[in-house]
Structure 1
Amino acid sequence: MSDERPRSFEELLAEGALVPTEGWDFSWFEGRATEARPSWGYAGTLAGRLSGAGAVLDVQTGGGEVLDFALARAGRRPALTAATEGWPPNVTRATALLRPRGVVVVASPEDAPLPFADESFDLVVSRHPVRAHWDEIARVLRPGGTYFAQHVGPGSARELVEFFLGPRPAELWEARHPDRERRAAEAAGLETVDVRAERLRMEFHDIAAVVHFLRKVVWMVPDFTVGRYRPRLRALHERIEAEGAFVAHSSRHLFEMRRGARTP
């Protein structure tokens, strides 16, 4: 039997509030929170796509972890690989991680036009972009080029968000529906190759994991701070203590879109 005493609510809050949030490395959550992964295995599949590409752009790369993982496993690296990121701490992290692999990391706000010439890339990729700018993606793709990405789908972590914010309007949850995004991509001139969607179980085993998650994935509860939501955090802590892990569900969809060949 372990002699370690259970950590108090205040200790867990403090721990969750101090964990660095840069990048998309979620290893800190091990043993404290889990999320099932989509069946298509985005990062592993991406490695194969990189092997067959000549010029690649990773949009909103975060800390560069996913691209780094895929490049390390690619049988052949592209001749040119670039990545964009808008949040300065992530730009620094991604540059340090990806520069040794020959990747050019460009600081670019997520809502700004992509800082590249027309038809620069035969493969554009992204994992969990805040929003896909379809016109820009189509512009920088070469004719016959592919957009391959995993997006956050509708209603992701809805149970957790509504625990803090209360019921949200249905139309808010539908904003990321894959059918809506597909139509927007096609309106920008891209052709649909494949769209898949899955809903996946998430579990939070302590309140520190919840705090860190909401600090890291800032669009879930946009005004989140520990001080502002302390009463709800305490209520959730007591619920986890009494009932076990808090269960929510993430939503993910896979996009493969192609720019049509240039007409004569």
Structure 2
Amino acid sequence: MSNDPQDLAARARRSDALEILARIGFAASGLVHLLIACIAVQVAMGGSGEADESGALHQLSGTPMGGVLLWLISAAFVALAVWHLVEAVLPRHESAKDQLLGRGKAVAKAVVYGAMGWTAFRVVTGSGADSGETSTEATSTLMTAPAGRILVAVLALVVLGVGVYHVYKGATQKFLEDLHATGGREVTRTVTVVGTTGYIAKGVALGIVGVLFGVAAITADADQQTGMDAALKALRDQPFGVVLLLLVAAGLATYGLYSFARARYSTMAESMS
């Protein structure tokens, strides 16, 4: 049996079990985004809650069967991370520039889903910290490193860039390239609408996260609150912030619904998170 990485990746890509679990990962992402949207609505209405992945998973843990669901979610996110790592390793029939870009995107997605799987694992085992606190602690750690402000500024630009890309992908409906319907049919109009709205809303939320990292870099404030929860609460505190937060919450909910459709229709190749 060959131990060549590309051969191992090819065999993993042919695994029906891995693909099914990876598709469940998209559905898990949909559930998490729906829960974040619900928490965001509570925050907009003056309630409390952590409107981010960790907050959503903690809320899920308190429900009947929550522990079982969290174990499944953790495994599904890890499977999705492995799937994207496989994409990064497999041969590509593209230009050198496109290959580099494609592999970089695949690795980035693997890191994102791997982190989500780790977060779910920490929550289900009772060791999960608040992700907003974790993000702030990470910012503080970067600040104390050599050229720390520059590193945080770079992180701000990266997150802002990802947010802009989400808006672009939604507005141009480029996400439809990631989907296919059975029987040669086209993806339904409903999926197109929720995908467009969801990508734009998530892009806006990520853009605000990037701005918060930028503020931390500019002011050299190691205690600057960062992360999705801080971003949504910062939006709430702006003029007309409650209305804006409710709109973003609705958009995140539609992204969650799109993720359920993605679990069914994804081509499982080169789909951006």
Higher helix share: 2
Structure whose alpha-carbon radius of gyration is higher:
1
Q: Provide TM-score, normalisation by structure 1.
A: 0.29
Relative CO higher for 1 or 2, CA cutoff 8 Å, sep ≥ 6? 2
